[in-house]
Protein backbone atom coordinates (compact mmCIF):
# COMPACT_ATOMS: atom_id res chain seq x y z
CA UNK A 1 0.00 0.00 0.00
CA UNK A 2 1.18 3.54 -0.71
CA UNK A 3 2.72 4.85 2.51
CA UNK A 4 0.77 8.14 2.55
CA UNK A 5 -2.59 6.34 2.71
CA UNK A 6 -1.57 3.67 5.25
CA UNK A 7 -3.64 5.00 8.15
CA UNK A 8 -3.70 2.73 11.20
CA UNK A 9 -5.83 4.53 13.78
CA UNK A 10 -9.09 2.62 13.31
CA UNK A 11 -8.75 0.05 16.08
CA UNK A 12 -12.17 -0.54 17.62
CA UNK A 13 -13.99 0.28 14.40
CA UNK A 14 -15.92 -2.35 12.44
CA UNK A 15 -16.61 -2.32 8.71
CA UNK A 16 -18.72 -4.69 6.63
CA UNK A 17 -17.73 -5.52 3.06
CA UNK A 18 -20.30 -6.73 0.54
CA UNK A 19 -19.10 -8.53 -2.60
CA UNK A 20 -21.41 -9.17 -5.56
CA UNK A 21 -21.00 -11.00 -8.86
CA UNK A 22 -18.18 -9.62 -11.01
CA UNK A 23 -14.74 -10.72 -12.16
CA UNK A 24 -13.57 -7.84 -9.93
CA UNK A 25 -14.74 -9.81 -6.87
CA UNK A 26 -11.16 -10.96 -6.29
CA UNK A 27 -10.21 -7.35 -5.50
CA UNK A 28 -12.32 -7.69 -2.38
CA UNK A 29 -9.38 -9.60 -0.89
CA UNK A 30 -7.12 -6.56 -1.39
CA UNK A 31 -9.73 -4.34 0.22
CA UNK A 32 -10.03 -6.73 3.15
CA UNK A 33 -6.27 -6.63 3.74
CA UNK A 34 -6.19 -2.83 3.53
CA UNK A 35 -9.09 -2.34 5.94
CA UNK A 36 -7.60 -4.81 8.41
CA UNK A 37 -4.23 -3.05 8.19
CA UNK A 38 -6.02 0.13 9.27
CA UNK A 39 -6.94 -1.60 12.53
CA UNK A 40 -10.61 -2.16 11.72
CA UNK A 41 -12.46 -5.43 12.18
CA UNK A 42 -14.07 -6.59 8.94
CA UNK A 43 -17.00 -8.86 8.14
CA UNK A 44 -17.93 -9.97 4.63
CA UNK A 45 -21.05 -11.00 2.73
CA UNK A 46 -20.85 -12.66 -0.67
CA UNK A 47 -23.82 -13.01 -3.00
CA UNK A 48 -24.44 -16.31 -4.78
CA UNK A 49 -23.06 -14.78 -7.96
CA UNK A 50 -19.91 -13.55 -6.19
CA UNK A 51 -19.23 -17.12 -5.08
CA UNK A 52 -18.94 -18.14 -8.72
CA UNK A 53 -15.76 -16.01 -8.81
CA UNK A 54 -14.33 -16.35 -5.28
CA UNK A 55 -15.03 -18.46 -2.23
CA UNK A 56 -16.02 -17.45 1.31
CA UNK A 57 -13.01 -19.43 2.57
CA UNK A 58 -10.66 -16.97 0.83
CA UNK A 59 -12.01 -14.14 3.00
CA UNK A 60 -12.06 -16.28 6.14
CA UNK A 61 -8.41 -17.21 5.56
CA UNK A 62 -7.49 -13.51 5.56
CA UNK A 63 -9.25 -12.86 8.86
CA UNK A 64 -12.74 -11.70 7.88
CA UNK A 65 -15.30 -12.52 10.56
CA UNK A 66 -18.13 -13.23 10.23
CA UNK A 67 -18.45 -14.26 6.58
CA UNK A 68 -22.00 -14.65 5.22
CA UNK A 69 -22.57 -16.73 2.13
CA UNK A 70 -26.29 -17.51 2.06
CA UNK A 71 -29.64 -15.99 2.87
CA UNK A 72 -30.60 -18.49 5.53
CA UNK A 73 -27.55 -19.32 7.66
CA UNK A 74 -27.04 -22.72 9.22
CA UNK A 75 -27.10 -22.67 13.04
CA UNK A 76 -28.40 -20.27 15.62
CA UNK A 77 -27.56 -16.95 13.92
CA UNK A 78 -31.01 -16.30 12.45
CA UNK A 79 -30.53 -12.52 12.65
CA UNK A 80 -27.37 -12.26 10.55
CA UNK A 81 -29.19 -9.90 8.21
CA UNK A 82 -29.25 -7.35 11.05
CA UNK A 83 -25.65 -7.70 12.19
CA UNK A 84 -23.99 -4.92 10.10
CA UNK A 85 -26.68 -2.42 11.09
CA UNK A 86 -26.22 -3.20 14.77
CA UNK A 87 -22.45 -3.67 14.99
CA UNK A 88 -20.72 -1.87 12.09
CA UNK A 89 -19.66 1.73 11.60
CA UNK A 90 -19.38 1.50 7.80
CA UNK A 91 -20.69 -0.68 4.97
CA UNK A 92 -18.82 -0.94 1.65
CA UNK A 93 -20.15 -2.87 -1.35
CA UNK A 94 -17.39 -3.57 -3.87
CA UNK A 95 -17.89 -4.68 -6.51
CA UNK A 96 -21.56 -3.79 -6.80
CA UNK A 97 -23.18 -5.46 -9.82
CA UNK A 98 -26.10 -3.99 -11.79
CA UNK A 99 -28.39 -6.50 -10.06
CA UNK A 100 -27.20 -5.53 -6.57
CA UNK A 101 -27.56 -1.83 -7.41
CA UNK A 102 -31.12 -2.44 -8.62
CA UNK A 103 -31.94 -4.27 -5.40
CA UNK A 104 -30.53 -1.44 -3.27
CA UNK A 105 -32.29 1.29 -5.26
CA UNK A 106 -35.68 -0.39 -5.16
CA UNK A 107 -35.71 -1.77 -1.64
CA UNK A 108 -35.58 -5.45 -2.58
CA UNK A 109 -34.30 -7.79 0.11
CA UNK A 110 -34.19 -11.19 -1.50
CA UNK A 111 -30.59 -12.13 -0.62
CA UNK A 112 -28.40 -11.69 2.45
CA UNK A 113 -26.43 -8.71 1.11
CA UNK A 114 -29.51 -6.68 0.16
CA UNK A 115 -31.17 -7.53 3.51
CA UNK A 116 -28.13 -6.31 5.41
CA UNK A 117 -27.84 -3.16 3.31
CA UNK A 118 -31.54 -2.36 3.75
CA UNK A 119 -31.18 -2.76 7.53
CA UNK A 120 -28.04 -0.59 7.70
CA UNK A 121 -29.06 2.85 9.06
CA UNK A 122 -26.09 4.88 7.74
CA UNK A 123 -24.97 5.74 4.23
CA UNK A 124 -23.47 2.96 2.10
CA UNK A 125 -20.28 3.17 0.06
CA UNK A 126 -21.05 1.55 -3.31
CA UNK A 127 -18.43 0.77 -5.96
CA UNK A 128 -20.09 -0.47 -9.18
CA UNK A 129 -18.42 -2.77 -11.72
CA UNK A 130 -20.02 -3.99 -14.95
CA UNK A 131 -19.94 -3.87 -18.74
CA UNK A 132 -19.85 -0.25 -20.04
CA UNK A 133 -23.19 -0.64 -21.85
CA UNK A 134 -24.78 -1.94 -18.66
CA UNK A 135 -23.34 0.99 -16.70
CA UNK A 136 -24.69 3.56 -19.17
CA UNK A 137 -28.10 1.89 -19.46
CA UNK A 138 -30.85 4.29 -18.41
CA UNK A 139 -32.15 1.87 -15.78
CA UNK A 140 -28.74 1.58 -14.10
CA UNK A 141 -28.22 5.33 -14.17
CA UNK A 142 -31.68 5.90 -12.69
CA UNK A 143 -30.89 3.44 -9.89
CA UNK A 144 -27.55 5.12 -9.21
CA UNK A 145 -29.25 8.52 -9.03
CA UNK A 146 -31.77 7.16 -6.52
CA UNK A 147 -28.94 5.94 -4.29
CA UNK A 148 -27.09 9.27 -4.53
CA UNK A 149 -30.29 11.17 -3.71
CA UNK A 150 -30.60 9.11 -0.52
CA UNK A 151 -27.12 10.18 0.55
CA UNK A 152 -25.23 7.03 -0.31
CA UNK A 153 -21.69 7.39 -1.68
CA UNK A 154 -21.06 5.99 -5.16
CA UNK A 155 -17.41 5.49 -6.13
CA UNK A 156 -17.82 5.72 -9.88
CA UNK A 157 -16.27 3.01 -12.04
CA UNK A 158 -13.14 3.73 -13.98
CA UNK A 159 -12.59 3.86 -17.73
CA UNK A 160 -10.57 1.41 -19.79
CA UNK A 161 -10.75 -2.13 -21.05
CA UNK A 162 -13.13 -4.37 -19.15
CA UNK A 163 -13.02 -8.16 -18.75
CA UNK A 164 -15.25 -8.57 -21.81
CA UNK A 165 -12.60 -6.64 -23.81
CA UNK A 166 -14.86 -3.62 -24.36
CA UNK A 167 -13.48 -0.11 -23.80
CA UNK A 168 -15.41 2.39 -21.72
CA UNK A 169 -16.56 3.22 -18.21
CA UNK A 170 -17.48 0.24 -16.08
CA UNK A 171 -14.41 -1.32 -14.52
CA UNK A 172 -14.13 -1.25 -10.74
CA UNK A 173 -12.57 1.94 -9.36
CA UNK A 174 -9.02 1.70 -8.00
CA UNK A 175 -8.98 -0.23 -4.74
CA UNK A 176 -7.16 2.71 -3.11
CA UNK A 177 -10.11 4.98 -3.90
CA UNK A 178 -12.62 2.51 -2.49
CA UNK A 179 -10.46 1.92 0.58
CA UNK A 180 -10.23 5.65 1.31
CA UNK A 181 -14.00 6.12 0.95
CA UNK A 182 -14.44 3.26 3.43
CA UNK A 183 -12.03 4.88 5.88
CA UNK A 184 -13.84 8.20 5.53
CA UNK A 185 -17.07 6.47 6.52
CA UNK A 186 -15.25 5.24 9.66
CA UNK A 187 -13.47 8.51 10.48
CA UNK A 188 -14.74 11.36 12.66
CA UNK A 189 -16.04 14.16 10.46
CA UNK A 190 -14.61 16.83 12.74
CA UNK A 191 -13.21 18.87 9.82
CA UNK A 192 -16.46 18.93 7.84
CA UNK A 193 -17.16 22.40 6.43
CA UNK A 194 -13.46 23.31 6.49
CA UNK A 195 -11.40 24.02 3.38
CA UNK A 196 -7.79 22.92 3.69
CA UNK A 197 -4.86 23.82 1.45
CA UNK A 198 -1.69 21.72 1.52
CA UNK A 199 1.56 22.54 -0.28
CA UNK A 200 3.77 19.51 -0.82
CA UNK A 201 6.86 18.22 -2.51
CA UNK A 202 9.84 20.07 -3.97
CA UNK A 203 10.00 23.01 -6.32
CA UNK A 204 12.25 22.99 -9.37
CA UNK A 205 14.02 26.21 -10.33
CA UNK A 206 15.05 26.06 -13.99
CA UNK A 207 18.57 27.14 -14.94
CA UNK A 208 19.10 26.01 -18.53
CA UNK A 209 17.30 23.79 -21.03
CA UNK A 210 17.92 20.59 -19.03
CA UNK A 211 19.05 21.53 -15.50
CA UNK A 212 17.28 22.81 -12.41
CA UNK A 213 17.87 23.59 -8.71
CA UNK A 214 15.82 21.42 -6.33
CA UNK A 215 15.85 19.00 -3.39
CA UNK A 216 14.89 15.34 -2.76
CA UNK A 217 11.51 15.94 -1.09
CA UNK A 218 9.01 13.22 -2.06
CA UNK A 219 5.84 14.98 -0.89
CA UNK A 220 4.83 12.01 1.27
CA UNK A 221 4.30 14.11 4.41
CA UNK A 222 2.11 16.62 2.61
CA UNK A 223 0.16 13.90 0.83
CA UNK A 224 -0.53 12.34 4.24
CA UNK A 225 -1.93 15.67 5.46
CA UNK A 226 -4.09 16.09 2.35
CA UNK A 227 -5.61 12.62 2.68
CA UNK A 228 -6.06 12.93 6.46
CA UNK A 229 -7.97 16.21 6.06
CA UNK A 230 -10.27 14.68 3.43
CA UNK A 231 -10.89 11.57 5.54
CA UNK A 232 -12.02 13.87 8.37
CA UNK A 233 -14.54 15.66 6.17
CA UNK A 234 -12.64 18.65 4.77
CA UNK A 235 -12.58 19.94 1.23
CA UNK A 236 -8.92 19.79 0.20
CA UNK A 237 -6.72 21.61 -2.30
CA UNK A 238 -3.25 20.10 -2.79
CA UNK A 239 -0.58 22.24 -4.48
CA UNK A 240 1.87 19.63 -5.68
CA UNK A 241 5.47 19.99 -6.73
CA UNK A 242 7.02 17.62 -9.24
CA UNK A 243 7.10 13.92 -8.38
CA UNK A 244 4.59 14.03 -5.54
CA UNK A 245 2.39 11.00 -4.77
CA UNK A 246 -0.94 9.93 -6.21
CA UNK A 247 -3.95 11.54 -4.57
CA UNK A 248 -7.61 10.51 -4.88
CA UNK A 249 -9.66 12.50 -7.38
CA UNK A 250 -11.84 13.87 -4.56
CA UNK A 251 -8.84 16.06 -3.62
CA UNK A 252 -8.40 19.03 -5.96
CA UNK A 253 -4.85 18.80 -7.23
CA UNK A 254 -2.86 21.76 -8.58
CA UNK A 255 0.42 20.64 -10.18
CA UNK A 256 3.18 23.24 -10.20
CA UNK A 257 6.90 23.37 -10.93
CA UNK A 258 8.68 26.43 -9.54
CA UNK A 259 8.43 28.37 -6.28
CA UNK A 260 6.78 31.21 -8.22
CA UNK A 261 4.19 28.77 -9.60
CA UNK A 262 3.48 27.41 -6.12
CA UNK A 263 3.09 30.87 -4.63
CA UNK A 264 0.74 31.96 -7.42
CA UNK A 265 -1.46 28.89 -6.92
CA UNK A 266 -1.50 29.22 -3.12
CA UNK A 267 -2.13 32.97 -3.17
CA UNK A 268 -5.07 32.55 -5.57
CA UNK A 269 -6.76 30.15 -3.12
CA UNK A 270 -5.79 31.70 0.20
CA UNK A 271 -8.81 33.92 0.88
CA UNK A 272 -11.13 30.89 0.73
CA UNK A 273 -8.94 28.64 2.93
CA UNK A 274 -9.59 27.82 6.59
CA UNK A 275 -6.42 25.81 7.26
CA UNK A 276 -3.12 26.10 5.40
CA UNK A 277 -0.59 23.28 5.76
CA UNK A 278 2.77 24.28 4.30
CA UNK A 279 4.84 21.11 4.01
CA UNK A 280 6.47 21.84 0.64
CA UNK A 281 10.25 22.05 0.47
CA UNK A 282 10.28 25.31 -1.46
CA UNK A 283 13.59 26.47 -2.92
CA UNK A 284 14.65 29.64 -1.10
CA UNK A 285 16.67 30.77 -4.12
CA UNK A 286 16.29 30.41 -7.86
CA UNK A 287 19.19 30.56 -10.32
CA UNK A 288 19.45 33.44 -12.74
CA UNK A 289 18.52 31.60 -15.95
CA UNK A 290 21.17 30.70 -18.46
CA UNK A 291 18.45 30.33 -21.10
CA UNK A 292 16.46 27.65 -22.89
CA UNK A 293 19.47 26.04 -24.54
CA UNK A 294 21.75 23.55 -22.81
CA UNK A 295 24.85 25.03 -21.17
CA UNK A 296 28.04 23.59 -22.67
CA UNK A 297 31.00 23.04 -20.41
CA UNK A 298 34.02 25.16 -21.19
CA UNK A 299 36.53 26.30 -18.58
CA UNK A 300 37.21 24.70 -15.20
CA UNK A 301 35.04 26.99 -13.10
CA UNK A 302 31.35 27.88 -13.25
CA UNK A 303 29.60 30.62 -11.33
CA UNK A 304 25.82 30.67 -11.04
CA UNK A 305 23.98 33.64 -9.54
CA UNK A 306 20.79 33.24 -7.52
CA UNK A 307 17.90 35.46 -6.49
CA UNK A 308 15.47 35.04 -3.60
CA UNK A 309 12.11 33.36 -4.14
CA UNK A 310 8.90 34.42 -2.44
CA UNK A 311 8.62 33.09 1.13
CA UNK A 312 5.20 31.47 0.69
CA UNK A 313 4.64 30.52 4.33
CA UNK A 314 5.64 33.96 5.64
CA UNK A 315 3.74 35.91 2.99
CA UNK A 316 0.46 34.04 3.47
CA UNK A 317 0.95 33.55 7.21
CA UNK A 318 1.30 37.25 7.87
CA UNK A 319 -1.74 37.89 5.66
CA UNK A 320 -4.02 35.40 7.41
CA UNK A 321 -7.42 36.62 8.53
CA UNK A 322 -9.35 35.86 11.71
CA UNK A 323 -10.31 32.22 11.72
CA UNK A 324 -7.56 31.09 9.40
CA UNK A 325 -4.96 28.70 10.82
CA UNK A 326 -1.46 27.96 9.59
CA UNK A 327 0.72 24.87 10.04
CA UNK A 328 4.30 25.31 8.89
CA UNK A 329 7.19 22.88 8.60
CA UNK A 330 10.84 23.29 9.50
CA UNK A 331 13.31 20.83 7.98
CA UNK A 332 16.58 21.34 9.84
CA UNK A 333 19.96 19.70 10.30
CA UNK A 334 20.84 21.34 13.63
CA UNK A 335 19.44 23.63 16.35
CA UNK A 336 15.98 22.27 15.61
CA UNK A 337 14.08 23.69 18.59
CA UNK A 338 15.58 27.17 18.37
CA UNK A 339 14.97 27.40 14.63
CA UNK A 340 11.39 26.23 15.07
CA UNK A 341 10.58 28.90 17.64
CA UNK A 342 12.08 31.60 15.43
CA UNK A 343 10.08 30.34 12.47
CA UNK A 344 6.85 30.22 14.48
CA UNK A 345 7.12 33.94 15.21
CA UNK A 346 8.52 35.03 11.85
CA UNK A 347 5.88 33.22 9.80
CA UNK A 348 2.89 34.06 12.06
CA UNK A 349 2.06 30.34 12.23
CA UNK A 350 -0.20 28.57 14.71
CA UNK A 351 1.90 25.41 14.70
CA UNK A 352 5.38 24.57 13.48
CA UNK A 353 6.29 20.94 12.89
CA UNK A 354 10.03 20.39 12.83
CA UNK A 355 12.20 17.45 11.92
CA UNK A 356 15.92 16.80 11.72
CA UNK A 357 16.37 15.62 8.13
CA UNK A 358 19.83 14.29 8.97
CA UNK A 359 18.28 11.59 11.19
CA UNK A 360 17.65 8.16 9.75
CA UNK A 361 13.96 7.65 8.94
CA UNK A 362 13.17 11.33 9.37
CA UNK A 363 14.53 12.86 6.20
CA UNK A 364 13.32 13.34 2.68
CA UNK A 365 11.79 10.39 0.87
CA UNK A 366 10.98 8.30 3.96
CA UNK A 367 7.67 6.75 5.02
CA UNK A 368 8.25 7.85 8.64
CA UNK A 369 9.04 11.03 10.52
CA UNK A 370 10.37 11.97 13.94
CA UNK A 371 9.07 15.43 14.74
CA UNK A 372 8.87 18.17 17.32
CA UNK A 373 5.74 20.31 17.60
CA UNK A 374 5.51 23.85 18.97
CA UNK A 375 2.41 26.04 18.91
CA UNK A 376 1.59 29.71 19.34
CA UNK A 377 0.69 29.18 23.02
CA UNK A 378 4.17 27.87 23.80
CA UNK A 379 3.25 24.20 24.11
CA UNK A 380 5.97 21.91 22.80
CA UNK A 381 6.30 18.14 22.39
CA UNK A 382 8.81 15.74 20.87
CA UNK A 383 7.26 12.74 19.13
CA UNK A 384 9.06 9.46 18.44
CA UNK A 385 9.50 8.03 14.96
CA UNK A 386 6.08 7.22 13.45
CA UNK A 387 4.48 6.70 10.02
CA UNK A 388 3.74 9.99 8.30
CA UNK A 389 -0.05 9.40 8.14
CA UNK A 390 -0.07 9.02 11.94
CA UNK A 391 1.94 12.24 12.32
CA UNK A 392 -0.51 14.12 10.06
CA UNK A 393 -3.54 12.81 11.96
CA UNK A 394 -2.09 13.77 15.36
CA UNK A 395 -1.11 17.27 14.16
CA UNK A 396 -4.71 17.86 13.07
CA UNK A 397 -5.89 16.60 16.48
CA UNK A 398 -3.62 19.22 18.06
CA UNK A 399 -4.77 22.02 15.74
CA UNK A 400 -8.46 21.35 16.37
CA UNK A 401 -7.88 21.72 20.11
CA UNK A 402 -5.77 24.89 19.76
Point out the annotated binding site for CTP: 284, 294, 329, 343, 347
| Cis upstream peptide for 95 (omega within 30°) | yes
- Do you know the residue count of the chain? 402
Calculate the alpha carbon distances from 281 to 2, 47, 105 in Å. 21, 49, 48
Calculate the alpha carbon distances from 118 to 91, 107, 122, 183, 353 in Å. 11, 7, 10, 21, 45
Close Cβ partners of 185 (under 8 Å, ≥ 6 residues apart)? 15, 89, 90, 91, 92, 122, 123, 125, 153
Close Cβ partners of 248 (under 8 Å, ≥ 6 residues apart)? 176, 177, 180, 227, 230
**Cα–Cα–Cα angle for 116, 117, 123, nearest 5°?**
140
Q: Which residues are annotated as a binding site?
A: 284, 294, 329, 343, 347
CA dihedral sign, ordered 88, 90, 95, 99: positive
277/363 Cα distance (integer angstroms) = 18
Which of 148, 164, 240, 372 is an active site residue? 164
Look at residues 68, 44, 26 and name the one whose alpha carbon lies nearest to residue 182. Answer: 44
- The yes-or-no answer on residue 115 being catalytic is no
101/173 Cα distance (integer angstroms) = 16
**84 close to 119: Cβ distance less than 8 angstroms:** yes
Q: At what angle do helices 138-149 and 98-106 cross, to 10 degrees?
A: 50
Residues with active-site annotation: 164
Amino acid sequence: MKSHIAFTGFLGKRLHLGVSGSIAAYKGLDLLRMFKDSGADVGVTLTDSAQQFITPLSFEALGASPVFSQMYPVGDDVFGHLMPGEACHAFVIAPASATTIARLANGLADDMLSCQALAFPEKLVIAPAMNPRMWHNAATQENIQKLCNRGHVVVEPGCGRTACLEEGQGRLAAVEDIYLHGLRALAPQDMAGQTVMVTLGPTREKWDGVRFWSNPSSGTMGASFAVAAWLRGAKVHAICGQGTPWLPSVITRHDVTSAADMYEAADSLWNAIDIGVFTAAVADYTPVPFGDSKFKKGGDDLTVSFTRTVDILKTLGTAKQDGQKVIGFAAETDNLHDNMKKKLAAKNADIIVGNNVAKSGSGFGTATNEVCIVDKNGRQEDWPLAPKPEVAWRVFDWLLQL
